[in-house]
Copies of this chain bind each other. A is one copy, B any other.
Amino acid sequence: MKARVFVMLKNGVLDPQGEAVRHALGSLGFDGVEGVRQGKVIELDLAAGTTEDTVRQMCEKLLANTVIESYRIEMA
């Protein structure tokens, strides 16, 4: 089974990477880009029967820094 974890910086946390992308898009002539936030997707190939709760533990322990990042889990 597959799980997908999305990790984004929390609102209010400065995102210099996203800011750089916004700036670069402007330089390339793309107008109207008002904001850019960049985060991570982690696709996990898991043994059958792995629960969402286990994935949540993975996030808390390793995948996300919950002080500055929020995460969202999608099981498939």
Which residues of A line the B interface, CB within 8 A? 6, 8, 18, 21, 24-25, 28, 30-47, 50, 54, 57-58, 61-63
Contacts and interface: CB of A to CB of B under 8 A. Distances in A.
Contacts of A28: 58, 61-62
18 contacts: A21-B42, A25-B58, A25-B62, A28-B58, A28-B62, A30-B54, A33-B46, A34-B46, A35-B43, A36-B42, A36-B43, A36-B45, A37-B42, A37-B43, A38-B43, A39-B40, A39-B41, A39-B42
B38 A40 contact: yes
* Integer count of this chain's copies in the complex: 2
Given A28-B62, A62-B24, A44 B50 contact: no
